[in-house]
Amino acid sequence: MTYAGRLAVVGLGPGAPAWRSPEASERLACATDVVGYGPYLQLVGELAHAPMLHESDNRQEAERARFALGLAAEGRDVVLVSSGDPGVFAMATAVIEALHDDEAADFGRVEITIVPGITAASAAAARIGAPLGHDFCCISLSDVLKPWDVVVDRLRHASAADLVLALYNPRSRARPHQLAEARDVLLEGRKPDTVVVVGRDVGGPEESIRVTTLGELDPGTVDMRCCVIVGSSQTRVSATGAVYSPRTHEGPRPPLEGPPCPPPLAGSRRDPASGP
CB of 49 to ligand SAH, least distance (A): 26
Which secondary structure element, helix H or strand E, spans residue 55, and what is its range? strand 52-56
CB of 11 to ligand SAH, least distance (A): 7
In the bound state with ligand SAH, the residue whose beta carbon lies nearer, of 55 and 106, is: 55
Which secondary structure element, helix H or strand E, spans residue 120, and what is its range? helix 120-128
Work out whether the CA dihedral 239, 216, 208, 167 comes out positive or negative. positive
User: Got the DSSP string for 124-153?
Assistant: HHHHHEETTSSSEEEEE---SSS-HHHHHH
Residues in 249-268 at the binding interface with ligand SAH, rule: CB under 6 A: none
In the bound state with ligand SAH, the residue whose beta carbon lies nearer, of 119 and 234, is: 119
What residue number has its CB nearest to ligand SAH?
84
Residues for the chain: how many in total? Answer: 276
Q: Cα(127)–Cα(135) distance, rounded to whole angstroms?
A: 19
Residues in 219-248 at the binding interface with ligand SAH, rule: CB under 6 A: 224-227
What letters, b where the CB count within 10 A reaches 16 and e where it falls short, cover 191-204?
A: eeebbbbbbbbbbe
Q: Cα(185)–Cα(170) distance, rounded to whole angstroms?
A: 14
For residue 189, count other CB atoms closer than 10 A to its CB: 20
Residues in 183-212 at the binding interface with ligand SAH, rule: CB under 6 A: 199-204
Q: Cα(47)–Cα(34) distance, rounded to whole angstroms?
A: 10
- Encoded one letter per residue, x for contact with ligand SAH by CB under 6 A and - for no contact, window 60-89 reads ----------------------xxxx--xx
CB of 118 to ligand SAH, least distance (A): 8
Question: Applying CB under 6 A, does 169 fall inside the site for ligand SAH?
Answer: yes
CB of 105 to ligand SAH, least distance (A): 26
CB of 263 to ligand SAH, least distance (A): 43
Applying CB under 6 A, what is the total number of residues that bind ligand SAH? 25
In the bound state with ligand SAH, the residue whose beta carbon lies nearer, of 160 and 224, is: 224
Residues that bind ligand SAH (CB under 6 A): 14-15, 82-85, 88-90, 119-120, 124, 168-170, 199-204, 224-227
